[in-house]
Structure 1
Protein backbone atom coordinates (compact mmCIF):
# COMPACT_ATOMS: atom_id res chain seq x y z
CA UNK A 1 0.00 0.00 0.00
CA UNK A 2 1.52 3.28 -1.07
CA UNK A 3 -0.87 5.74 0.58
CA UNK A 4 -3.37 6.08 3.39
CA UNK A 5 -6.96 6.87 2.48
CA UNK A 6 -8.75 9.63 4.37
CA UNK A 7 -11.10 8.60 7.20
CA UNK A 8 -14.13 10.51 5.86
CA UNK A 9 -15.41 11.31 2.41
CA UNK A 10 -15.09 15.03 3.25
CA UNK A 11 -12.18 15.93 5.56
CA UNK A 12 -11.75 19.30 7.25
CA UNK A 13 -10.51 20.35 10.70
CA UNK A 14 -13.39 21.41 12.94
CA UNK A 15 -13.80 25.21 12.92
CA UNK A 16 -10.47 25.48 11.01
CA UNK A 17 -8.62 26.12 14.28
CA UNK A 18 -5.26 24.81 15.42
CA UNK A 19 -6.58 23.51 18.75
CA UNK A 20 -8.50 20.81 16.83
CA UNK A 21 -5.26 19.48 15.35
CA UNK A 22 -2.49 17.33 16.86
CA UNK A 23 -0.04 18.58 19.47
CA UNK A 24 0.17 20.76 22.57
CA UNK A 25 -2.45 23.07 21.11
CA UNK A 26 -5.08 23.47 23.83
CA UNK A 27 -5.21 25.36 27.11
CA UNK A 28 -6.66 24.48 30.48
CA UNK A 29 -8.81 26.96 32.41
CA UNK A 30 -5.68 28.20 34.24
CA UNK A 31 -3.89 28.90 30.93
CA UNK A 32 -1.48 25.96 31.05
CA UNK A 33 -1.02 24.07 27.80
CA UNK A 34 -2.37 20.59 27.19
CA UNK A 35 -2.23 18.06 24.42
CA UNK A 36 -4.78 17.12 21.79
CA UNK A 37 -3.95 13.65 20.51
CA UNK A 38 -5.40 13.73 17.00
CA UNK A 39 -7.53 15.62 14.51
CA UNK A 40 -11.15 16.64 15.04
CA UNK A 41 -12.73 16.38 11.59
CA UNK A 42 -16.09 18.04 10.88
CA UNK A 43 -18.79 15.35 10.70
CA UNK A 44 -22.50 15.44 11.36
CA UNK A 45 -23.92 12.34 13.08
CA UNK A 46 -24.20 9.26 10.87
CA UNK A 47 -21.36 10.30 8.55
CA UNK A 48 -19.61 7.14 7.27
CA UNK A 49 -16.05 6.50 8.49
CA UNK A 50 -13.73 4.51 6.23
CA UNK A 51 -10.72 2.26 6.84
CA UNK A 52 -7.65 4.30 5.95
CA UNK A 53 -5.78 1.09 5.10
CA UNK A 54 -6.25 -2.64 4.82
CA UNK A 55 -5.97 -4.15 8.28
CA UNK A 56 -7.63 -5.76 11.29
CA UNK A 57 -10.01 -4.21 13.81
CA UNK A 58 -8.32 -4.41 17.23
CA UNK A 59 -10.98 -2.56 19.25
CA UNK A 60 -14.67 -2.03 18.71
CA UNK A 61 -16.17 -0.82 21.97
CA UNK A 62 -17.93 1.80 24.03
CA UNK A 63 -14.90 3.22 25.85
CA UNK A 64 -16.25 5.74 28.36
CA UNK A 65 -18.77 8.53 28.71
CA UNK A 66 -16.17 11.24 29.48
CA UNK A 67 -13.63 10.43 26.77
CA UNK A 68 -13.79 8.72 23.39
CA UNK A 69 -17.22 7.12 23.76
CA UNK A 70 -17.87 4.52 21.07
CA UNK A 71 -14.67 3.83 19.18
CA UNK A 72 -12.95 1.62 16.62
CA UNK A 73 -9.21 0.98 16.36
CA UNK A 74 -7.77 -0.35 13.09
CA UNK A 75 -4.33 -2.01 13.07
CA UNK A 76 -2.48 -1.72 9.77
CA UNK A 77 0.99 -1.92 8.24
CA UNK A 78 2.33 1.18 6.49
CA UNK A 79 5.87 1.90 5.30
CA UNK A 80 7.15 -1.05 7.32
CA UNK A 81 5.51 0.12 10.57
CA UNK A 82 2.62 -1.36 12.50
CA UNK A 83 0.23 1.51 13.24
CA UNK A 84 -3.24 1.98 14.70
CA UNK A 85 -5.98 4.37 13.54
CA UNK A 86 -8.50 5.37 16.22
CA UNK A 87 -11.94 6.70 15.28
CA UNK A 88 -14.06 7.98 18.17
CA UNK A 89 -17.28 9.77 19.21
CA UNK A 90 -19.16 7.24 17.04
CA UNK A 91 -22.83 6.33 17.11
CA UNK A 92 -22.73 3.07 15.10
CA UNK A 93 -19.84 0.64 14.81
CA UNK A 94 -20.33 -1.73 11.88
CA UNK A 95 -17.31 -4.01 12.45
CA UNK A 96 -16.43 -6.38 15.27
CA UNK A 97 -13.07 -6.92 16.92
CA UNK A 98 -10.72 -9.15 14.83
CA UNK A 99 -12.55 -8.33 11.56
CA UNK A 100 -10.30 -7.95 8.51
CA UNK A 101 -11.16 -4.84 6.49
CA UNK A 102 -10.09 -3.40 3.17
CA UNK A 103 -8.95 0.16 2.57
CA UNK A 104 -11.98 2.37 1.90
CA UNK A 105 -14.47 0.02 3.59
CA UNK A 106 -17.09 1.70 5.81
CA UNK A 107 -16.37 0.65 9.39
CA UNK A 108 -18.43 3.04 11.54
CA UNK A 109 -20.67 6.11 11.60
CA UNK A 110 -20.02 9.32 13.50
CA UNK A 111 -22.07 10.53 16.42
CA UNK A 112 -21.77 12.45 19.66
CA UNK A 113 -20.67 9.79 22.13
CA UNK A 114 -18.14 10.32 24.91
CA UNK A 115 -17.12 13.89 25.66
CA UNK A 116 -18.70 14.99 22.34
CA UNK A 117 -22.14 14.32 23.86
CA UNK A 118 -24.37 17.36 23.41
CA UNK A 119 -22.24 19.01 20.72
CA UNK A 120 -24.25 20.65 17.96
CA UNK A 121 -23.69 22.15 14.53
CA UNK A 122 -20.10 23.10 13.75
CA UNK A 123 -18.79 21.25 16.81
CA UNK A 124 -19.95 17.78 15.75
CA UNK A 125 -16.91 15.78 14.69
CA UNK A 126 -14.94 12.59 14.31
CA UNK A 127 -11.90 12.40 16.59
CA UNK A 128 -9.18 10.66 14.52
CA UNK A 129 -5.76 9.52 15.74
CA UNK A 130 -2.83 7.58 14.36
CA UNK A 131 -0.90 5.66 17.00
CA UNK A 132 2.19 3.51 17.13
CA UNK A 133 0.87 1.79 20.28
CA UNK A 134 -2.56 0.21 20.72
CA UNK A 135 -2.87 1.56 24.29
CA UNK A 136 -1.43 5.06 24.06
CA UNK A 137 -2.48 6.56 27.41
CA UNK A 138 -2.58 10.31 28.17
CA UNK A 139 -0.52 13.00 26.47
CA UNK A 140 1.05 12.61 23.04
CA UNK A 141 3.09 9.49 23.76
CA UNK A 142 2.28 6.51 21.56
CA UNK A 143 0.70 8.78 18.94
CA UNK A 144 1.87 10.12 15.59
CA UNK A 145 0.76 13.44 14.10
CA UNK A 146 -1.51 12.48 11.17
CA UNK A 147 0.14 15.17 9.02
CA UNK A 148 3.22 12.90 9.00
CA UNK A 149 1.25 10.72 6.57
CA UNK A 150 -1.18 13.20 5.00
CA UNK A 151 1.24 16.09 4.42
CA UNK A 152 -0.69 18.67 6.45
CA UNK A 153 -3.88 19.07 8.44
CA UNK A 154 -6.92 19.96 6.31
CA UNK A 155 -7.42 23.49 7.69
CA UNK A 156 -9.01 26.22 5.59
CA UNK A 157 -9.68 23.74 2.79
CA UNK A 158 -11.48 20.43 2.43
CA UNK A 159 -10.13 17.13 1.14
CA UNK A 160 -12.81 15.10 -0.61
CA UNK A 161 -12.05 11.45 -1.33
CA UNK A 162 -14.19 9.28 -3.55
CA UNK A 163 -13.27 6.30 -5.72
CA UNK A 164 -9.52 6.91 -5.78
CA UNK A 165 -9.69 10.59 -6.73
CA UNK A 166 -9.10 13.61 -4.53
CA UNK A 167 -10.42 17.14 -4.70
CA UNK A 168 -9.26 20.09 -2.66
CA UNK A 169 -12.06 22.53 -1.96
CA UNK A 170 -11.83 25.95 -0.46
CA UNK A 171 -14.66 27.31 1.73
CA UNK A 172 -16.24 29.16 -1.21
CA UNK A 173 -16.88 25.81 -2.86
CA UNK A 174 -14.53 26.01 -5.83
CA UNK A 175 -12.33 22.99 -6.23
CA UNK A 176 -9.42 21.36 -7.95
CA UNK A 177 -9.62 17.70 -8.94
CA UNK A 178 -6.32 15.90 -8.48
CA UNK A 179 -5.36 12.31 -9.20
CA UNK A 180 -4.86 10.34 -5.96
CA UNK A 181 -1.22 9.62 -6.82
CA UNK A 182 -0.49 13.35 -6.99
CA UNK A 183 -2.08 14.02 -3.58
CA UNK A 184 0.56 12.04 -1.71
CA UNK A 185 3.32 14.47 -2.77
CA UNK A 186 1.79 17.78 -1.62
Structure 2
Protein backbone atom coordinates (compact mmCIF):
# COMPACT_ATOMS: atom_id res chain seq x y z
CA UNK A 1 0.00 0.00 0.00
CA UNK A 2 2.74 2.43 0.92
CA UNK A 3 4.72 1.64 -2.23
CA UNK A 4 1.68 2.50 -4.35
CA UNK A 5 1.38 5.82 -2.56
CA UNK A 6 5.09 6.39 -3.00
CA UNK A 7 5.32 5.48 -6.66
CA UNK A 8 1.85 5.17 -8.19
CA UNK A 9 0.10 8.43 -7.42
CA UNK A 10 2.21 10.91 -9.35
CA UNK A 11 0.26 10.88 -12.65
CA UNK A 12 -2.92 11.84 -10.78
CA UNK A 13 -1.33 14.56 -8.65
CA UNK A 14 1.26 16.22 -10.89
CA UNK A 15 0.14 19.50 -12.38
CA UNK A 16 -2.01 20.54 -9.44
CA UNK A 17 -1.45 24.10 -8.25
CA UNK A 18 -1.36 24.38 -4.48
CA UNK A 19 -0.24 27.25 -2.24
CA UNK A 20 2.83 26.42 -0.13
CA UNK A 21 1.34 25.42 3.28
CA UNK A 22 3.28 27.83 5.48
CA UNK A 23 4.26 31.50 5.24
CA UNK A 24 7.92 30.55 5.25
CA UNK A 25 10.68 28.96 3.18
CA UNK A 26 10.65 25.67 1.29
CA UNK A 27 13.38 24.04 3.38
CA UNK A 28 12.64 20.53 4.63
CA UNK A 29 14.03 18.60 7.58
CA UNK A 30 12.33 15.33 6.55
CA UNK A 31 10.81 14.08 3.32
CA UNK A 32 8.11 11.62 2.33
CA UNK A 33 8.85 7.91 2.70
CA UNK A 34 11.74 8.12 5.15
CA UNK A 35 11.81 5.14 7.48
CA UNK A 36 10.85 5.76 11.09
CA UNK A 37 10.75 3.08 13.76
CA UNK A 38 7.73 0.96 12.88
CA UNK A 39 6.45 3.13 10.02
CA UNK A 40 7.29 5.34 7.06
CA UNK A 41 7.15 9.13 7.22
CA UNK A 42 3.89 10.16 5.57
CA UNK A 43 4.65 13.75 4.60
CA UNK A 44 7.04 16.70 4.66
CA UNK A 45 8.56 18.23 7.78
CA UNK A 46 9.05 21.90 6.96
CA UNK A 47 11.76 23.76 8.88
CA UNK A 48 10.79 26.70 11.09
CA UNK A 49 14.26 27.07 12.69
CA UNK A 50 12.99 26.86 16.26
CA UNK A 51 10.17 29.35 15.71
CA UNK A 52 6.52 28.68 16.51
CA UNK A 53 3.41 30.62 15.55
CA UNK A 54 4.17 30.94 11.83
CA UNK A 55 0.91 31.21 9.82
CA UNK A 56 -0.07 28.01 8.00
CA UNK A 57 -2.13 28.49 4.86
CA UNK A 58 -4.96 26.70 3.11
CA UNK A 59 -3.30 25.13 0.08
CA UNK A 60 -6.45 25.23 -2.04
CA UNK A 61 -10.23 25.65 -1.91
CA UNK A 62 -11.84 23.38 0.68
CA UNK A 63 -13.22 23.16 4.18
CA UNK A 64 -11.87 22.35 7.64
CA UNK A 65 -13.03 18.74 8.14
CA UNK A 66 -11.35 17.75 11.40
CA UNK A 67 -9.64 19.27 14.43
CA UNK A 68 -7.61 17.10 16.76
CA UNK A 69 -5.74 17.83 20.00
CA UNK A 70 -3.68 15.06 21.58
CA UNK A 71 -0.75 15.02 24.02
CA UNK A 72 1.22 12.81 21.65
CA UNK A 73 1.39 11.82 18.00
CA UNK A 74 0.42 14.80 15.82
CA UNK A 75 -0.33 16.96 18.87
CA UNK A 76 -2.62 19.73 17.66
CA UNK A 77 -3.64 18.95 14.07
CA UNK A 78 -5.99 20.32 11.40
CA UNK A 79 -7.40 18.37 8.44
CA UNK A 80 -8.42 20.39 5.38
CA UNK A 81 -10.65 18.57 2.88
CA UNK A 82 -9.95 19.99 -0.56
CA UNK A 83 -12.52 20.40 -3.31
CA UNK A 84 -10.45 18.13 -5.58
CA UNK A 85 -10.97 15.23 -3.12
CA UNK A 86 -7.54 15.31 -1.50
CA UNK A 87 -6.94 16.10 2.17
CA UNK A 88 -4.18 18.34 3.56
CA UNK A 89 -2.99 17.61 7.11
CA UNK A 90 -1.19 20.18 9.28
CA UNK A 91 0.34 18.77 12.48
CA UNK A 92 2.37 19.74 15.59
CA UNK A 93 0.57 23.11 15.61
CA UNK A 94 0.71 25.76 18.31
CA UNK A 95 -2.78 27.13 17.58
CA UNK A 96 -5.74 27.03 15.24
CA UNK A 97 -7.04 30.28 13.81
CA UNK A 98 -9.72 32.08 15.82
CA UNK A 99 -12.72 30.35 14.25
CA UNK A 100 -11.28 26.83 14.57
CA UNK A 101 -9.98 27.55 18.06
CA UNK A 102 -13.47 28.60 19.14
CA UNK A 103 -14.94 25.32 17.85
CA UNK A 104 -12.32 23.27 19.70
CA UNK A 105 -12.60 25.34 22.89
CA UNK A 106 -16.37 24.99 23.31
CA UNK A 107 -16.33 21.31 22.32
CA UNK A 108 -13.78 20.59 25.06
CA UNK A 109 -15.53 22.85 27.56
CA UNK A 110 -18.83 20.99 27.16
CA UNK A 111 -17.10 17.64 27.68
CA UNK A 112 -14.68 18.82 30.39
CA UNK A 113 -11.62 17.49 28.58
CA UNK A 114 -8.32 18.94 27.39
CA UNK A 115 -8.25 16.87 24.21
CA UNK A 116 -10.52 16.46 21.21
CA UNK A 117 -11.08 14.80 17.86
CA UNK A 118 -13.84 16.75 16.11
CA UNK A 119 -15.33 15.94 12.70
CA UNK A 120 -16.75 19.11 11.16
CA UNK A 121 -19.57 19.67 8.67
CA UNK A 122 -18.52 20.82 5.20
CA UNK A 123 -20.73 23.90 5.59
CA UNK A 124 -19.18 25.24 8.81
CA UNK A 125 -15.87 26.66 7.60
CA UNK A 126 -14.85 26.93 3.98
CA UNK A 127 -11.36 28.20 3.17
CA UNK A 128 -9.77 30.00 0.26
CA UNK A 129 -6.22 29.38 -1.02
CA UNK A 130 -3.69 31.29 1.08
CA UNK A 131 -6.04 31.83 4.03
CA UNK A 132 -4.43 31.44 7.47
CA UNK A 133 -6.05 28.44 9.15
CA UNK A 134 -3.54 27.54 11.88
CA UNK A 135 -0.04 28.24 13.24
CA UNK A 136 3.10 26.12 13.37
CA UNK A 137 4.34 24.77 16.68
CA UNK A 138 5.84 21.82 18.50
CA UNK A 139 2.81 20.07 20.05
CA UNK A 140 3.23 16.30 20.29
CA UNK A 141 6.94 16.57 19.54
CA UNK A 142 10.10 18.23 20.82
CA UNK A 143 11.35 20.24 17.84
CA UNK A 144 9.37 23.08 16.27
CA UNK A 145 8.36 22.40 12.65
CA UNK A 146 5.29 21.92 10.46
CA UNK A 147 4.44 18.33 9.60
CA UNK A 148 2.42 18.50 6.37
CA UNK A 149 0.70 15.65 4.54
CA UNK A 150 -1.37 15.24 1.41
CA UNK A 151 -3.80 12.32 1.20
CA UNK A 152 -5.86 11.10 -1.73
CA UNK A 153 -9.61 10.41 -1.77
CA UNK A 154 -9.03 7.07 -0.02
CA UNK A 155 -7.04 8.84 2.74
CA UNK A 156 -3.78 7.31 1.48
CA UNK A 157 -0.79 9.62 1.92
CA UNK A 158 1.10 10.54 -1.23
CA UNK A 159 4.31 12.43 -1.78
CA UNK A 160 3.72 16.22 -1.58
CA UNK A 161 6.71 16.50 -3.90
CA UNK A 162 4.42 15.41 -6.75
CA UNK A 163 2.58 18.72 -6.28
CA UNK A 164 5.28 21.11 -5.08
CA UNK A 165 8.40 19.84 -6.82
CA UNK A 166 10.69 20.83 -3.96
CA UNK A 167 14.24 20.24 -5.23
CA UNK A 168 16.09 17.41 -3.50
CA UNK A 169 19.80 17.62 -4.25
CA UNK A 170 20.95 15.10 -1.64
CA UNK A 171 21.29 11.57 -2.99
CA UNK A 172 20.30 8.74 -0.63
CA UNK A 173 23.07 6.57 0.80
CA UNK A 174 22.23 2.91 1.41
CA UNK A 175 23.75 1.99 4.76
CA UNK A 176 22.26 -1.47 5.26
CA UNK A 177 19.86 -4.03 3.84
CA UNK A 178 17.70 -6.44 5.84
CA UNK A 179 16.59 -9.64 4.11
CA UNK A 180 13.69 -11.46 5.77
CA UNK A 181 12.46 -14.99 4.93
CA UNK A 182 9.19 -14.67 3.02
CA UNK A 183 7.41 -17.69 4.57
CA UNK A 184 8.01 -20.98 6.38
CA UNK A 185 10.69 -22.89 4.54
CA UNK A 186 12.30 -19.77 3.06
CA UNK A 187 16.03 -19.38 3.66
CA UNK A 188 18.46 -16.47 3.68
CA UNK A 189 21.97 -17.70 2.86
CA UNK A 190 20.87 -21.17 3.92
CA UNK A 191 19.25 -20.17 7.23
CA UNK A 192 15.57 -19.59 8.15
CA UNK A 193 16.27 -16.25 9.84
CA UNK A 194 16.55 -12.66 8.74
CA UNK A 195 19.98 -11.27 7.97
CA UNK A 196 21.34 -7.74 7.92
CA UNK A 197 23.93 -6.64 5.38
CA UNK A 198 25.90 -3.45 6.04
CA UNK A 199 27.65 -1.28 3.46
CA UNK A 200 30.49 1.19 3.72
CA UNK A 201 29.22 4.75 3.38
TM-score range, shorter-chain basis? 0.5 to 0.7
Q: What TM-score results when the alignment is normalised by the length of structure 2?
A: 0.58
Runs of 4+ residues deviating >3 angstroms? 152-156
Q: Check if 1:100 corresponds to 2:122.
A: no
Deviations 1:132-173 (A, max 9, x none): 257x5xxxxx111101111235678xxxxxxxxxxxxxxxxx
What's the CA shift for 1:8? 1.1
Asked whether the 8 Å contact 2:26–2:166 carries over to 1, the reply is no
- Structure 2: 5+ residue stretches without partners: 1-14, 101-119, 171-201
In structure 2, relative to structure 1, the CA distance for the partners of 1:155 and 1:101 (3 Å cut) is farther
- Contact 2:16/2:163 (CA < 8 Å) preserved in 1? no
Aligned residues: 130
Match runs of 1:33-182 below 5 Å: 34-43=39-48, 44-62=51-69, 64-78=70-84, 82-94=85-97, 95-96=99-100, 97=120, 98-114=124-140, 116=141, 118-119=142-143, 124-133=144-153, 136=155, 142-152=156-166
In structure 1, list runs of 5 or more residues that go unmatched.
Answer: 15-19, 137-141, 157-186
Q: Deviations over 1:41-81 (max 9, x none)?
A: 0122101100000110001221x222001011111133xxx
- Contact map agreement 2:44 2:149 (CA 8 A) in 1: yes
Provide the TM-score with structure 1 as the length reference: 0.63
Higher strand proportion: 1
Q: Provide, for residues 114-136 of structure 1, a one-character-per-residue CA deviation record: whole Å limited to 9, x for no partner.
A: 1x1x32xxxx20000001257x5
Structure 1 residue 2 displacement after superposition: 5.7
> 1:111: how far off?
1.0
Q: What RMSD in Å do the two structures reach over aligned CA positions?
A: 2.3
Q: Which residue in 2 is equivalent to 1:26?
A: 35
Q: 2:169 and 2:89 mapped to 1: Cα distance?
A: 20
**Rg (Cα) greater in structure:** 2
Structure 1 residue aligned with 2:19: 5
Aligned partners of 1:37 and 1:2: how far apart in 2? 19
